Structure 1
């Protein structure tokens, strides 16, 4: 029989615990919520109807385009303006061939406040709340004026939302 002799048997040896190491790092949490706006309209025609001309003069004619809705994200400041494809300076114009009829666009049904025609203009600015539409309407008026060519006069109105 063999005997095993441990010279230090019964002697308790205390060794220091291994030191633990730690490494830390950081990360950034991020979300970007951009300002956004969308626009819809229940109709896309500012219709002045049909007018029988007496002689060569168009009498004052009114039309309206309602239901322009702009939805913008919360706390988004916006400026809304309208431009005419056939404009001469700031005058909106309907075109038939090379003949024009002047007209004006207003933001109110009494036709006393002209629609702004640039983003720097005042009058059609608001702040979106993220849930409720900003509602606009275009009220047009063709003032009495002379015409030389019967036919259909058209223009393209661009409504722009700057935010």
Structure 2
């Protein structure tokens, strides 16, 4: 019914030249990890200006993760996902949506901390930053697995699926 409204899909099975989700999500990864590093370096060196750097990185990461999720959902929907990839793709999607809420909540918490005392971070906040780092690293592992092991949106895999070699 709406097929004539959609642009044709290319050799990556996408309506645009290449995947956008990895480009946007790498900004999120960098901003979150850099924010955590800034918090710890700021604490260790008593350079409290790094807390401000961390705060702004978390703000931009909060906005950016929703953009990454939008493109991730589009690209996951267009992926020719064969049986072996389904569980990893589902887990990656679940954790991605969860991270959007987690990052937004942590940023909100950070906002309250910043209003109360911009020169002090509670130990609990620093601990949550470490937990967030572990979750982000696991999510990176899953995303890498989708591309480098399962080959989602790569030309050889798209061709193999279209020819019926992979199911």
Query: Shared fold (TM-score greater than 0.5)?
Result: no
Asked which structure has the greater CA Rg, the reply is 1
TM-score bracket for the superposition, by shorter chain length: under 0.3
Q: Comparing both structures, which one devotes a greater share of its residues to helix?
A: 2
Q: Comparing both structures, which one devotes a greater share of its residues to strand?
A: 1
